[in-house]
């Protein structure tokens, strides 16, 4: 083999080796990005979990439960009040008592009549 062929073969080998090294460097970089992403997600999840633990201190837990309980009691009270009002309204209607809107309508008509009578004087 001539010196020229040896040089040519050596250059080809170096080129092939450089290509392999470059590819390995590229893959190592991608692997590092993947590992950093994975580790970042794990660290983030751990921080969220720790934050939840700190957030749920006994005092905060009691406050949150108290707010939930008072909200439920208020909602229950509103429902009970509404049912009582409906029941009272039904009972008064069965007894023949006028409804609030009937009384308001009569009051408006009485005011109009009073105004008309005073205008006639």
Both tokens of residue 18?
């450089």
pTM: 0.38
For the purposes of burial, counting CB atoms within 10 Å of the CB of 13, is it exposed (0-12), middle (13-18) or buried (19 or more)?
exposed
What's the domain count of the chain? 1
CA angle (88 as vertex; 82, 90 as ends), nearest 5: 100
- pLDDT tens, 97-113? 877 788 888 889 999 99
Both tokens of residue 43?
């660290």
- Rounded distance between C-alpha atoms, residue 118 and residue 114, angstroms: 6
For residue 92, the Cα-to-chain-centroid distance in whole angstroms is 45
pLDDT at 75: 92
- pLDDT tens, 10-19? 777 877 778 8
Give the domain range for residue 21: 3-120
- pLDDT tens, 38-82? 888 888 988 888 887 777 677 877 888 899 999 999 998 899 898
């Amino acid at each position: 083999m001539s010196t020229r062929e040896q040089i040519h073969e050596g250059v080809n080998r170096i080129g092939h080796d450089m290509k392999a090294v470059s590819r390995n460097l590229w893959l190592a970089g991608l692997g590092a990005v993947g590992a950093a992403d994975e580790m970042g997600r794990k660290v983030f999840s751990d921080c969220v979990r720790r934050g939840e633990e700190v957030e749920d201190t006994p005092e905060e837990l009691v406050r949150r439960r108290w707010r939930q309980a008072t909200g439920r009691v208020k909602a229950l009270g509103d429902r009970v009040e509404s049912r009582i009002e409906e029941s009272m309204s039904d009972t008064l209607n069965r007894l023949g008592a006028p409804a609030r809107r009937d009384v308001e309508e009569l009051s408006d008509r009485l005011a109009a009549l009073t105004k008309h009578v005073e205008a006639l004087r």
